[in-house]
Amino acid sequence: MKTKEHKIPEATIKRLSTYVNYLGRLGTDSNPVISSEILGESCQVSPAQIRKDLSYFGEFGVRGVGYDTKKLEAEIKDILGINHNWPTTIVGVGKLGQALLNFDFFRNHGFRIITAFDSDPNKIGTEAANGVTIQSISDIEKCVREEKISIGIITTPVAAAQEVADKLVSGGINGILNFAPIKVRVPETITLRNVSITSELDNLAYLLTQKKR
Amino acid sequence: MKTKEHKIPEATIKRLSTYVNYLGRLGTDSNPVISSEILGESCQVSPAQIRKDLSYFGEFGVRGVGYDTKKLEAEIKDILGINHNWPTTIVGVGKLGQALLNFDFFRNHGFRIITAFDSDPNKIGTEAANGVTIQSISDIEKCVREEKISIGIITTPVAAAQEVADKLVSGGINGILNFAPIKVRVPETITLRNVSITSELDNLAYLLTQKKR
DNA sequence: GCGACAATGTGATAACTGTCACAGCCTAAC
DNA sequence: GTTAGGCTGTGACAGTTATCACATTGTCGC
């Protein structure tokens, strides 16, 4: 893979995720080769857009033929970096936290969840899922440092989110994925993504309201 | 509210959601008035961006002063249409579905969850949360039609998502929020949003990988 | 009432992102 | 070997979104 010097649109990354997801579900045996036309059809993206997205990172196809399905999947995985195995923790073992703990695609996307934290004394010490034991939130710093955890996923209520983020940061975390509907603040050096389920709801509400008017 | 004829960027809607969220948490008593500067600081958006976003919909501030906090919150809620009370259903009562059933912000964002569906015989007939009883997936069509449900939230595994979407559509659903990591296909007339948690993970993985290189 | 000040609203401009058309390259058939 | 056909890769163009600068309009003190 040769990353070109250009800046890559975030939308491109999002689409690459869609592509690789689809390719993963596709039987590579029955579809050894795929064209941007077909892939676009399935992912609801124009063929030109797909070719452009891929062209940011190199040339993966064969003119007149298409893309080798298996190879393309591997290339995109490499681009996205989901072949890694980031030591990950989930903070906040409510329903959402549990949902994420049980999603097996974490493993398939380069994350290995090794610890979980919660503030509820009744939960601490119990097993959350897959052999992961729930620890006290007050131990975050120490644990992150000792276990060299590089990703923290925040699924706490809004009130606790910033404090948790601070603890993760001072423990030496690398990246944070925040599901609490508030924009947490972290130093420049920390990679941060805020996932706002709330805003998805609001967006749907907006679209529906528009339709009615 | 006077919607101008211009097309509104989706990013603007997303930010409006952020603003209204922040305003809701802000004590309006201690902060009767807020400037785009301060609001921007809190939401990590430039002041000019905020003013531009709002200007698509009208003039809500007072020059030299700022925005009336309470009034601005109400105006944005009105713009987004989260003062409605859409009859909503959740299909797929796994951990994620349960998480959503228990989030009280659904109510605060214009959605009223009145039914839930699952395919697991052991779950059918039991109460999911807040007095919502779980029904069989085979009853979706009938129930959506009879209860005049307008929003469907899909939290099933990938394999079931498209089939569920089809059933919701033929029952006469209005909008769909899909959490399954696949782009479901619906007729043009249905308002659809695909929420991809997977792509958020992939995006984080990408950013972290970039940092390392 | 008037001047100094403060923060909005917006046209102009810049940056970014997506679309399009076609040149370039590969395969396959004859 | 040559030609026809097909699909990628990409530069040029168009459309969209964000930034900037400042004119505008309101407040407050005297």
User: Considering the domain A10-80 in this protein, what is its CATH number?
Assistant: 1.10.10.10
Q: Does A21 sit within 8 Å of B198, measured CB to CB?
A: yes
Mean pLDDT, chain A, integer: 92
Residue B158 to residues A21, A42, B79, B164, B178, Cα–Cα distance (Å):
11, 15, 33, 10, 10
Rounded distance in angstroms from the CA atom of residue A204 to the C1' atom of nucleotide D17? 21
Same fold, A10-80 and A86-199: no
What percent of chain A lies above the pLDDT cut of 70? 96
Protein residues in reach of strand D (CB < 7 A): A 34-37, 47-48, 51-52, 54-55, 59-67; B 7, 9-12, 46, 48-49, 51-52, 62-65
Q: What is the mean pLDDT of residues A145-172?
A: 97
Residue B134 is given by DSSP the state E
Confidence of residue B5 (pLDDT cuts 50, 70, 90): low
Q: What is the mean pLDDT of residues A8-26?
A: 95
Number of helices and strands (H, E) in chain A?
9, 10
Four-residue CA torsion sign, A97, A101, A105, A109: positive
The full set of domain ranges for chain A reads 10-80, 86-199
Looking at the domain B86-199, which fold is it? Rossmann fold (3.40.50)
- Those residues whose C-beta lies under 8 Å from the C-beta of residue B9, and which sit 6 or more positions away, are none
Residue from the list A99, A183, A203 with its beta carbon closest to the beta carbon of B43:
A183
Q: Does A110 sit within 8 Å of B205, measured CB to CB?
A: yes
Confidence of residue B2 (pLDDT cuts 50, 70, 90): very low
Rounded distance in angstroms from the CA atom of residue B198 to the C1' atom of nucleotide C22? 36
Q: What is the mean pLDDT of residues B136-154?
A: 97
Give the closest nucleotide to A65 (alpha carbon vs C1'). Answer: D7
pLDDT tens-digit readout, B10-38? 999 999 999 999 999 987 677 899 999 99
Nucleotides of C under 7 A from a protein CB: 5-11, 16-21, 23-27
Instruction: Provide the number of CB pairs (under 8 Å) joining chain A to chain B.
Output: 182
Which chain B residues have a beta carbon less than 8 Å from that of A3? Answer: 213
Q: Does B151 sit within 8 Å of A16, measured CB to CB?
A: no
Confidence of residue A131 (pLDDT cuts 50, 70, 90): confident
Q: Does A44 sit within 8 Å of B199, measured CB to CB?
A: no
φ, ψ dihedrals at B64, nearest 5°? 85, -10
